[in-house]
Every structure is written in C-alpha cells, then in structure tokens.
Amino acid sequence: MNSVLLHELYFDGLTAKPADPQEDVRAALAKRFGSLDRWIEDFKATCVAAAGWGVLARDVVNAKLYNVASDLHDVGVIWLGQPVLVCDVYEHTFYVDYQNRKQEYVNKFVQFLDWNEINRRWLALNQ
C-alpha cells in the first residue's frame, strides 16, 4: 500500500510544464531551509543518499518540514511525517536512462516539479 501511495505522490508531483513555486510553499521552504535554493540542494542530496525514496515531509506535531531519505516503502520516513513531495530513487526509475548517474536523474526531477500540486498539498496539510 505504501508503495502505491508513494508512486502516486511521485507521479502526481511532476508536470511537463513546470511553473514557479507559489508563495505559500515557497515561504514555508524558505523559512525552514533558509531559501528555496537551499531546500532544493538539501532535497537533492537526500534523494541521492536514499535507496528508495526522497520525501519532503511535514511533521504533524511541530508542523516543520523535513527532507527524509527512505530505503524501503515503510522504512525511514518519520513517524508523524506527512508527505508533501516524493521522489522515487529506486534504480528502476533512472537506470535505463542514467545508469549510475543518479545525481543527473535527481537534477532533472526537480526541474519538472508540479508546484501547483505541491502547493495544494501544503495548503491541505495546514488547514
């Protein structure tokens, strides 16, 4: 079940026509990580370090955002974390096109984020 949910969050978080992040989620990421660029660098490093999933998650208790590396569908994600953005980093995702150049795959992934969807998720988690 977690695999299905994570794959849905992964695919639904991408778009062929990316736009700039909306102010709600941009401000939240900048507040937590210092800037949008600093969050992206940290998120990419998290994805490269993970064997399964890179996840931007919101802790339900403290409402803070975390970049979390998960090596399996049900391992590594913080217990009270609610996913806002998910990157599939299993080898099946990138090996055909990128072989062992995982960083290149992750760099490409963040260029096609659907910020409308990510912002919608962020707002839904903060109601």
CB of 7 to Fe ion, least distance (A): 6
CB of 33 to Fe ion, least distance (A): 26
Footprint of Fe ion on residues 5-34 (CB under 5 A)?
none
Contact residues for 64 (Cβ-Cβ < 8 A; gap 6+) = 32, 58
Q: How far apart are CA 46 and CA 16, in angstroms?
A: 23
Contact residues for 75 (Cβ-Cβ < 8 A; gap 6+) = 52
Asked whether 98 and 21 are in contact (CB, 8 A), the reply is no
Residue nearest to Fe ion (CB): 88
Question: Residue count at the site for Fe ion (CB under 5 A)?
Answer: 2
In the three-class reduction of DSSP (H, G, I as helix; E, B as strand; rest coil), residue 95 is classed as: helix
CB of 88 to Fe ion, least distance (A): 4
Q: Kindly tell me which of 90 and 98 has the beta carbon lying closer to Fe ion.
A: 90
Q: Kindly tell me which of 88 and 114 has the beta carbon lying closer to Fe ion.
A: 88
Judged by CB under 5 A, which stretch of 13-21, 28-36, 58-66, 85-93 contacts Fe ion?
85-93
Site string for Fe ion, 87-126 (x = CB under 5 A): -x-x------------------------------------
Q: How far apart are CA 43 and CA 21, in angstroms?
A: 15
Asked whether 39 and 32 are in contact (CB, 8 A), the reply is yes
* Site residues (vs Fe ion, CB under 5 A): 88, 90
